[in-house]
């Protein structure tokens, strides 16, 4: 529905921005046809394509650009989810990326993508016509802080700590059994601090998943994820999928820790799916 509604957003955005909207029938090809399309991420690309097709913008002006942004009815650019995946792919295609201002930090976080951001479609067209440059997406400076919960905080628990160290070194699963208050959750939450740092490839893997889920945060860049779903979680919440397929807790814990507190309380079917 959001993709179908883009025709109304694009029409209004172009007219409100003093561009001419073609009076004849317009056909937009969103290929390949077998891939599902959703959201307003295609709005800016469709609008720019219409301007080129109606000779209001020369074809060569867009040859080295990708456009990912939603348009408001008055032509302003709005951010969308999943920008990081596009920012990682555009350098391989030897292209530059144009996004909304709210996506600028995410687009520039890797430092590899030549990304620009604008406030509205008029600024984008002026940039393409070399009349006024868009601002370049900043390469975000991140202070790599230590994990807030560190294993060095734990006093005693030598046997449990040794078990966690072995599990961390060998990437093993770990089952902790003990009475309430024995320190199971406390130890699990601090296991991240004894895992090795993420590599560059692992960092982008994790960031891609959170980006497409709309949960990307620059504070989590190069930090291993820790996911602790509630025991009432469904199989879809844990594994992913649904009518609108999204990553589940397993995927969100990629390269990190999936902690199932009160394990016997989870439904048997959910555990079998896991």
Per-residue pLDDT of the chain (274 residues; tens, 9 = 90+): 878 889 899 999 999 999 999 888 889 998 888 888 888 899 999 999 999 999 999 999 999 999 999 999 999 999 998 898 889 899 999 999 999 999 998 898 888 889 999 999 999 999 999 999 999 998 766 656 577 888 988 888 899 999 999 999 999 999 999 999 899 999 999 999 999 988 988 998 998 899 888 888 877 888 899 999 999 999 999 999 888 788 999 999 999 999 999 999 999 999 998 8
Tokens found for residue 53: 């097709």
**240 bridge partner residues:** 247
pTM over cut 0.85? no
């Amino acid at each position: 529905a959001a993709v179908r509604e883009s025709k109304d957003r694009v029409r209004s955005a172009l007219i409100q921005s003093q561009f001419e909207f073609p009076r004849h029938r317009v056909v937009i090809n969103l290929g390949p046809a077998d891939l599902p399309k959703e959201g307003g991420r295609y709005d800016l690309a469709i609008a720019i394509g219409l301007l080129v097709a109606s000779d209001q913008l020369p074809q060569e002006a867009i040859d080295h650009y990708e456009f990912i942004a939603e348009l408001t009815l008055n032509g302003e650019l709005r951010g969308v989810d999943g920008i990081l995946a596009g920012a990682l792919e555009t350098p391989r295609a030897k292209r530059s990326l144009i996004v909304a201002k709210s996506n600028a930090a995410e687009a520039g976080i890797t430092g590899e993508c030549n990304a620009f951001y604008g406030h509205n479609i008029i600024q984008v067209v002026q940039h393409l016509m070399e009349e006024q440059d868009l601002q370049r997406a900043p390469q975000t400076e991140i202070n790599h802080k230590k994990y807030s919960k560190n294993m060095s905080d734990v006093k005693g628990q030598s046997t449990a700590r040794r078990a966690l160290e072995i599990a961390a070194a060998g990437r093993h699963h770990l089952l902790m059994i003990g009475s309430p208050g024995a320190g199971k959750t406390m130890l699990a939450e601090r296991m991240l601090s004894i895992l090795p740092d993420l590599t560059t490839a692992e960092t982008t893997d994790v960031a891609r998943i959170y980006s497409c889920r709309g949960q990307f945060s620059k504070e989590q860049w190069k930090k291993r994820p820790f996911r602790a779903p509630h025991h009432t979680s469904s199989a879809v919440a844990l594994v992913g999928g649904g009518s609108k397929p999204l990553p589940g807790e397993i995927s969100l814990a990629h390269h990190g820790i999936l902690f199932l507190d009160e394990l016997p309380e989870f439904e048997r079917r959910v555990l079998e799916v896991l």
